[in-house]
Structure 1
Amino acid sequence: MSRVLEDSQFIALNSRDVQVNEEGCNQVAAWIEQQLDTLGTKFSNWQDHELHPKLQDSSTLDWIFLIDILNFSFWSDADTKDSGNHPARFGIRYKGKLYMGYWSLCAAVNKALDNSIPITTPSFYADEVCCPDDLIASIFASDTEEQIPLLSERIRIMRASGKALVKYYGGRFVHLLEKCNHSAQKFLEILLRDFPDFRDISFYKGRECHILKRAQILIAETWACFHGQGYGQFDDIDSITMFADYRVPQILWQLGCLDYSPEFGSRLRKSETIAHNDPMEIEMRGCSIWAVELIRLAVNRPNLNAIMIDFFLWDLAKEWQTIGYSPNKERALSSVPSIRVRSIYY
C-alpha cells in the first residue's frame, strides 16, 4: 500500500465531518463494472482532446510538466455574465473558442507556442531576463472579466521548477523520468525531494498525511499520453491513487460514496472559502481517496486502476454540471457546491 493510500485510510478511520459510505461505494462499483469499456478509453484517448499534444516525444513531456506545475485553483469567484454574454470567470480564447478551467491553461500555453514563445522550455521560463514576469502575465491574460487566480504563485512555481530541472536534470523533464526506472513511487520521491511545490502534505491528528494531487496526476498524465509505454511506462502505476481536488469529491458525495456532517454541508452551501489544511478539507480529500480505493477493490478487475476511475468521474462531473443533471435530487451538485479552497495543490 502506498504512503498516500495509508494516510488516506488513516484519515477515513478518524474522520468526523466526512464519512466514507461503503454501501454507496459498492453501488458505484457495480455501476462502473457496466462502464468498463468507456473507462478503458478515458486514458487511452488522452491525446484525442483538441488541446492535448499529439506527438509522443520529449517536447510533449515538457508540455505535460509545465501544465501540471500550474494545474491548480481554477474555480471562480464570478457567477455572472459579462457584457459580451460570455462567462465572467477566467478564460482563454484560442482558435475561436473560449476555454475555462484546466482547458484555459492548455489553451494559453498552446497559444504561446503558436506565437513562437518557447514557454514549455524549462530553461526559458526559469530565466527572468529571457522570460520576464510581464511576458508570463500576458500569456495568461484573461479574455474575460476575471483574471487567472494566484498569478504570482504560478510565476514563482514556474521559476523554481524550471531552475530545479536545469540544475539537476539538464533542463528537461525526460532526464528526471530516466532516474525513476519506470517506478511511480521513485518518481514521487524525486519530486518531493527536488520540487518543494509538489509537497502536498497535510498534518492531521498528529500525523503527516500525504495527498500529493499534482505529483500523482503528473505521473498519470505521462502514463496516459504515452499509453503506458516508453516514457509512460510505470511498472507500479496501480499504486497511484485518485487525485483529491474539489470536483471529484463533489461527485463522490453526489453518488453517495461520501457523507458530510451538517456543519460541513452548511459551510459548502454558504460558499464559504475554507482554508487549506482545515480539518474538514483534509477529511474530504483523504476520504475521497479511500472511497475510490474501495470502489476499485469492489470492481476487482486487473485492468482497472484508480487513475481510470478518477478520469471517468471527473469527466462525468463536468458533463453533469453542464447539463444540470443529477441522479439523486437530494444530492444535486447545486445543493452542495464544490469546496472553495485557494491552494497551489489543487
Structure 2
Amino acid sequence: MVLAILESCKQVLKDSQDVKINYSRIPYLANKICEKILNGILVPEEFKKSPLHPKFEDEGAVNWIFIIDSLNFCFFDPNNKRHWTVTWKNEIYTGYFGLCAAINKAIEKGINLTDMKICKNLTKEQFYEILLGDDGTTLPLLEERYLCLQQSAEVLLKKYNGDFKNCIVKANQSAQKLLEIISANFPYFRDESIYNNEKVLIYKRAQILIADIWSSFGGTSLGTFHDIDSITMFADYRVPQVLLYYEVLEYSKKLKDKLINGTLLLHGHPEEVEIRAASIVAVDFIVFEIKQLLVKSNSTKICNSIMVDTYLWGFRRENAAMLENTPYHKTLNIFY
C-alpha cells in the first residue's frame, strides 16, 4: 500500500499544473540534513526528546500515541486570530504540542485517556473541556475530533480488546500491514483524493501513527518494523512550506497568490493534491540523496522519510519568524 502511495503521488506530478519539484535544489537540503544525522543531532528516537511524550515503552504509551494521533489534525482556525494555547507544568504549548499537554493534564486529573472504556464514555462536554485553551479559545473541528475519539475507542474495544498494541501484534512487524489494519478499521485515517479521475493515496495521519510508535520504541519491541523505510513523509501544511522555502517545491503564480491572500483550499482540490503529492515525492528523493551521502561517509547511521519529515517540521517551528513570508496552504479537514 505504501508503494501505491508513492506511485500515485508520482502520477500526480506527471500532470501537475501548479506545483513542480526543483530537483537541482535537493542536494543542498540533503547535505544539510545529512550533517544533522552524522553529528547525532537528528536520530530515529526524536519522538522521545519531547517532555510531553511518554518516556516508558509499554502498552500505556502505545494507547497514548494512538489517542493523540486520532485527534492530531487541523490546529489553525480561520475564524480565530488568537493562538490556542495550553499550559502544563509552567510551560505554554500550542498546536500539536498543545494537544499533548491537554491530554496529559486530563490524565493527571484522573481522566485516563489511555483507557478506551473511559474514552468511549466521555461526554462531548467533558471532551470539549479537556481541549479548552488557556484563555477560553478552542480548536476547530471539535465535533469531528470527538467523533474520532469515540470511533477509536469503540473499534479497539470491539475488535482489539481495547489495546492498540493488539493491532501492532497482528501486523507482525510490518509497517505496511499495520497501515492496512489502520485504514481498514478507522475511516478517519483513510486519507484519499481523486485527481484526474484517479485515486491518490496520502494517508498522512495513519503513517505518522506508525512512525510515532517506531520512534517512541526506538525501532525495538513493539516499534520493530522490518519495512519502516517504506513509510512516506507526512503531507501536511508546514513541511511543504519548508520545501518551498528551500526552493525544492515551486508554485505557480496563481497558486502563490491564493496562498498569500489566505484562500482556503478544499481537501481534494487539484492544487491541494499537487502540493501534498509533490512533497511526498520530493522527500523520497531527499532521502535517497542522504542515503548516498551516508554510504560515501562510511557511516552506519540510518535515514528515512520519517526522520527527514521530523527535521523539516521542526525547522519550521524553530524558525517561524524566518518563514513568515513563505506562504503555506490551509485546509479545514480531519486528514492533517
Give TM-score, length-normalised by structure 1: 0.91
Q: Residue by residue, what CA displacement relative to the aligned partner does 1:221-278 show, whole Å, maximum 9, x if unpaired?
A: 0000000000000000000010000000000000011000001000100011111111
Q: Residue by residue, what CA displacement relative to the aligned partner does 1:144-198 show, whole Å, maximum 9, x if unpaired?
A: 3531111000000111111011111011111111100000000011111111111
Do the aligned partners of 1:91 and 1:99 also contact (CA within 8 Å) in 2? yes
1:109 equivalenced with 2:103 (yes/no): yes
Compute the displacement of 1:218 (Å).
0.3
Name 1:84's counterpart in structure 2. none
Distance across 1 between alignment mates of 2:147 and 2:200: 25
The percent of aligned pairs where both chains have the same amino acid is: 36
Distance across 1 between alignment mates of 2:151 and 2:102: 20
How many residues were matched structurally? 327
Aligned partner (choices 107, 121, 132) of residue 115 of structure 2: 121
Greater shift, 308-317 or 5-14, is seen at 5-14
Name 1:100's counterpart in structure 2. 94
Give TM-score, length-normalised by structure 2: 0.94
Task: Could you list the structure 1 runs, at least 4 aligned residues long, displaced by more than 6 angstroms after superposition.
Answer: none
1:344 equivalenced with 2:331 (yes/no): no
Secondary structure of the residue aligned to 2:177 is helix
Greater shift, 91-100 or 264-273, is seen at 91-100
Name 1:317's counterpart in structure 2. 316
Distance across 1 between alignment mates of 2:319 and 2:326: 14
Matches within 5 A, 1:1-346: 2-37=3-38, 41-77=42-78, 88-127=82-121, 131-300=122-291, 301=294, 303-321=302-320, 324-325=321-322, 333-346=323-336
Compute the displacement of 1:46 (Å).
2.0
Compute the displacement of 1:27 (Å).
2.2
Structure 1's unaligned 5+ residue stretches are 81-87, 326-332
**Which residue identity is paired with 1:174?**
K
The structure-2 alpha-carbon separation of the partners of 1:64 and 1:298, relative to structure 1 and needing over 3 Å to count, comes to: same
Do the aligned partners of 2:52 and 2:97 also contact (CA within 8 Å) in 1? yes
Do the aligned partners of 1:78 and 1:146 also contact (CA within 8 Å) in 2? no
Secondary structure of the residue aligned to 1:35 is helix
Greater shift, 7-16 or 55-64, is seen at 7-16
Compute the displacement of 1:12 (Å).
1.6
Distance across 2 between alignment mates of 1:262 and 1:154: 35
Secondary structure of the residue aligned to 1:93 is strand
**Which residue identity is paired with 1:160?**
Q
Compute the displacement of 1:40 (Å).
6.0
Compute the displacement of 1:339 (Å).
1.0
Do the aligned partners of 2:19 and 2:271 also contact (CA within 8 Å) in 1? yes
Compute the displacement of 1:38 (Å).
5.1
Structure 2's unaligned 5+ residue stretches are 295-300
The structure-2 alpha-carbon separation of the partners of 1:118 and 1:145, relative to structure 1 and needing over 3 Å to count, comes to: closer
Do the aligned partners of 1:18 and 1:283 also contact (CA within 8 Å) in 2? yes
Do the aligned partners of 1:78 and 1:89 also contact (CA within 8 Å) in 2? no
RMSD: 1.6
